[in-house]
Each structure stands twice: as structure tokens, then as C-alpha cells.
Chain A
Amino acid sequence: MSDTDSQGIPAPEGHAQIIETEYEIGQDNIETSIGPFGLDIHNPVFLISGLAIIAFVFYALALPEQAEAFFGWLRPAITAQFDWFFLGAADIFVLFCLFLIVSPWGGVRLGGADARPDYSYIGWFAMLFAAGMGIGLMFYGVSEPMSHFSTALGGVTEEGGVRTDWAPLGAAAGNEAEAIRLGMAATIFHWGLHPWAIYAVVALALALFSYNKGLPLTIRSAFYPIFGDRVWGWVGHVIDTLAVFATLFGLATSLGFGATQANAGLNMLFGIPVGPTTEVILITAITSVALISVVRGLDGGVKVLSEINMGLAFLLLAFVLLAGPTLAILTGFGSSLVAYIEYLPALANPVGREDLNFSQGWTAFYWAWWISWSPFVGMFIARVSRGRSVREFIIAVLLVPSLVCVLWMTVFGGTAIQQYVQTGYEAVMNAPLELKLFEMLKELPLTAITSFVGIILVVVFFVTSSDSGSLVIDTITAGGKVDAPVPQRVFWAIFEGAVAIALLLGGGLSSLQAMVISTGLPFTLVLLLMCWAIIRGLQAEKRGA
């Protein structure tokens, strides 16, 4: 019997400081039915976000050229202005989480002093990980270390006093060993502590205010200590609607990456043409699979797929590790970690940067992307984390996934870099981002099988993101109810796919990235306020062991 078959309601859960408020969950909801479909939706969050998304999809599909020009302008405009804000905020989140681990509040248990976890560590990690990084690891696992390595190796180039190279920091012109260290450090920087700290902040806020304070499971609840009962009014509507937008565009970006990469892989293996048509077919097909998972629910769909994914990803990781330059990778793990720690202060520095292409084009984009994913991943993590202590929670959400990312990047990126260093194999370096993974696998045995597994992984990660994302958006737009009717999840799952298609057709990946950044920006402010609210919330809790 699995751990999820909880028998009855747990015994009294011990001390927890319920916030007494006049608000009744679901009081603003509209319960109705359209034809045979039952609905239970929050007014006005569902209506505003739903209608805006529909309008957006139509705009991007009807005027793709105009959309492309607009998005092409939007992305650099925001990252150039607000790069310091993204970088500084992310640093604050990391410090905040590290502080909570050592602070006395680390002993507070989510769900009350005596609450017990609903999921085992394995099931829990699988879901955390599949939701948190998923497709990104497949897309960037080889391509990012390789890109940073090759730009660092290329050194600094200037044109009229402006740096034109994309190398991190001061580059490492011609110095292969240092370029590897810098490349790995920069990659781990983007996938290590910072993103997971962003997730941890949102997840902790949601879990705390929902399980310990008895407020509905939506983003606005975290702001109760700041706004009081006003969070049930317009302030809250705005926060929740922002969260829905951020989530949808964050997901759509990943779905776009996934579709592009799956398409590239299918082209290499089976000669299936690359282009919007194939991508649209892929997104549609994969969204259909996600629909099945969403209809099967959290335990029957999402958890099962996450575990399958973790199994497959682990097999691929083990294969590359053993078939690739094993010794170099294993020693690389330690030295990458050391390089990360060494370069961390310089990479995380928010002001006075000279590597603007890198810090704005890579880092600021990443932070915006993680932040736009944070309501989704955070709520998902919160939903499966009841019964953990704050310390256990932060260590599990911050440190364990960071280490797994270091391992993943060292194995995949390290293999590709070693292929170049040892044999001069340049195909990975020269391939476009979405093809780099497959070019790396070409040099290893059993290429056809591993590439196919790679494509399957992209697809299944795609599905797990889409289905857990739909669950989350559904909960937010149902005012925190987790038992809203099935057609609502179906609606959101379909529209995630539709947004991805609309953006791919209206300017491709750069449109997706532009939307992620523009929804990530206001949400960064939301997250900063959240840190303050968490402290306020923890102060009222009884500190456990």
C-alpha cells in the first residue's frame, strides 16, 4: 500500500495559529453550469484572467507580425532596465532561505505541530523536481554549459566600447580549463540555489498560510499579514490574477521550448520536418495526454507521471555518466561545485556589471522565468508538503534539487565539453540550442535509443508541467477550492497549449521569453513582500524541535 492511501483524517494536529477572518472560502465564487459542464469559479479572478488569455491568443494568432515586432522590442527593453532588480531580488530570496534554515523558526511544522507528511520522500522529490525544472533540464542540460564554455573560451570582444560577446564575467580567453570552470559555474548559478530559493519562498508562504493559518490555498492568502481583510478585495484579485498570468506564460514558454526540442530530435531521428506545423501538432498531441492526466488527478495522474519521469531521467543520466568520460565527469562534479562557490559572489552581483549580454540576456531572463513559474511550482510544492518542518522543507526544496542540478549539468554539459576538449568534436558547439543534447548523444553508443528516450523525456516533462500547472491555475481561479469541477482544469490545460501555439506562431521563442519577463517583473515585487509576510506568519507559530 502506498503512503498516499491515508486512512481517515489524521488525529488532532497540535498547535497551529489559525487566523480568524470573516472571509469564507468560496464566498465570491460563482457556481453554475454551462450546458452539461459544471463550474465553480472565483469572481472576478477567473473571468478576468480567462478572458484576457483568450483575447491574447486571438491577438497573437490574428496579427502575428505585429505581435512579433512588439515582443521583439519588449524583452530587451525590460531586461536592460530592470536587470538589477531581478538579480538583487533573487539574491535576497537565497539569503532569506538560508537564514530560515538556521533560525529558530526552522522547527515550525507545516500543518500544525503534530502533522505528518502525506507523501514519502521519493514521491515528494519526484513531484518537486518534475514540476520545478522538467523540460528546462532537457533543453539546457547540454546547451547551457556548452554555450558558456565556448563564449568564455572565445574571450571578450568589444565594438565601440560595448561588449558584443556573451561570455560570463570577464571570460577566460584561450584558457580551456578556466573556461570549463567558468562555464559550469555560470550554469549551476542559473539552476542551483537561486531558482530553488524563489520556489521555496512562494511554497513556504502558501503552505504556512494555508495549513497553519487556515486561509484558502491561493497566492493572496500570503498577504494577509500585510493587507489584512483587504486581501479578499481588489488587492487580492490583482495578486491572484498576476499569478495566473505568470503561471500561464511561464508554462507556455517551457512548452514552447519542449516542442522545439522534441521537433528537432524527431527531425534528426526520423526526418520529420522542422517547422511550426510539426510544433503545433506536437503541442496539441501532448496537451491531449496532459488532459488525460489532469482528469485522473493528483495521485492518479501527476504523481504517477512524475515518478515515471524521474525513473527515465535517472536512467539517461546513469547512461551518459557511464558511457561518457566517467572519470572526468566525476572529478568535474567536485570542481564545478567549487567553481560555483568561487564565482557565486561575482555572478550574483546585481550592479556595475560589464558582461551585460550575459547578465541581462541569460541571468535576468532566467530569474524572470523562475519567478513566473514560482506561483505554479510553489503552490504545487505547498500542496504536497504538508507535515514537513520549515527546516526540512527548505533543505529539501533548496539544497537537494540544487545538488541534483549540479550533477545533471556536470554529466550532460561536462560530457559535451569533454567531447570537444578530448577529441575536438565541435558539432555540439555549433548546433542550435535545441539540438545540442542530440549532438552530444550522437557521440555515445546506442544513439537511436538514447535520443528517443530523450524525446520521450521532453514529452513527459511537458505533460507533467502542463497537468500540474492546470491544477494550480484551477485552484487559484476557484478561490482556493481544490474540489472544483473537472471541466475547469480541462479549460486551463487546453489554454496553456493554445498560448504556447499562439506565441510560437507570433514570433517564436523570443515572444515566449518576452511574455515571461513581462509577467515576471510585477511578480518579483509580490515575492519580496511575501518574505516579510512569512516572517510575520512564523512569529505567531509555536517553534518545534
Chain B
Amino acid sequence: MAIARSGFTICVAIAALVLACRATLSASPERSGSPQSPTFGVGRAPTAAELRAIDIDVAPDGRGLPSGRGTAAAGKDVYARRCETCHGPTGREGPQDVLVGGLGSLSTPNPQKTVGSYWPYATTLWDYIRRAMPFDHPGTLTTDEIYAATAYVLFMNGIVGEHDEVNQQTLPLVTMPNRSGFVADPRPDIPVKRKP
């Protein structure tokens, strides 16, 4: 009984050693390509390819936009195939977010917040289409299809012409109708001190 028990202990010790070795081995490829963090020694530097794969955001000044191009004329077909089911034939019908119209409605009792009436930056439209659209198959549009779909939504809102080329130079120059419609958070915006 006593012998059997110490045999068991040895087995556990060997298993722990094997696990520890395996953990070290599997960790080492991640560790190459330092620097690790200075205080805790964790992490590694991302490779250029890794960063390219995830650094997808596009800034209002156009930083992050890849080369490529599209026009509303080309985007009409992309829209019909990939967008119309959710946003309607003219971008006004839904059933999901309405994309077109609503200009001048923001200060009325029934505001319509669309790309044309509300969105302050055209670059956001490009970023969001690449990031999240189509809803059920995000990430499946080509770069030129994204430029074309962006151009078509802007065209339906009367913001660009049908044959205007939208690319990494021209898109940041597009001025959206509601560009100056946003203000900083003023809260607390009501008297907040009350007697108990």
C-alpha cells in the first residue's frame, strides 16, 4: 500500500514535469521577436504581417485607407447584390437602418438619422462597410467593392456624382452635410443640487 502510494506520487511528478516542458516549448515561438514588456517580461512584438491583418481602422483624415477605387455607377450593382435586402432598393425602405434622406429633419419632432442627414465623416462609412457589412457576411467585399458601395450610398444622398471616383485621396475630402452637427458633452446640463 505504502509502495503503491509513493509510485503514484512519482507518476504525478513526472506528469507535472512533462506538462511544464510542453508549456515552455509551446511558449517559445511566441517569445521570439521580443521586445517583451520591461517590468513583467510578457508579450512580444507583433510582426508586420500580423499588424496589417488587424490594423483596419480608417481615420477621418484618410489614414488607414488602402489603395483602390470605386464609383456610384459601379456601386449600384454591389448595392443591389449585397445591401438592398436589408436597406431597401433606394436606401430609404429598410427594414434595417435607413441610409438615405432625412436632410433638415434633425431638429423636427421626427428626426431621421441617415448617412446623408447625420453621419459627420465619409471615412466612417467606408470603415464600417469593411468592418461589419454585409451583416451576415462581414469581411467578404473586395476593397474596390467597398469603395463602390461607399460611393453609391453617398450618391443616393446627393453628396457625390454618379461618376466621381472615390479613392484614398478623394474620400477624406468629401464634406458630409452634418459635419459640424456634433457638440461636446455638457452634462450635468440641469440644476443638480437639491435639498434633501
User: Is A bound to B?
Assistant: no
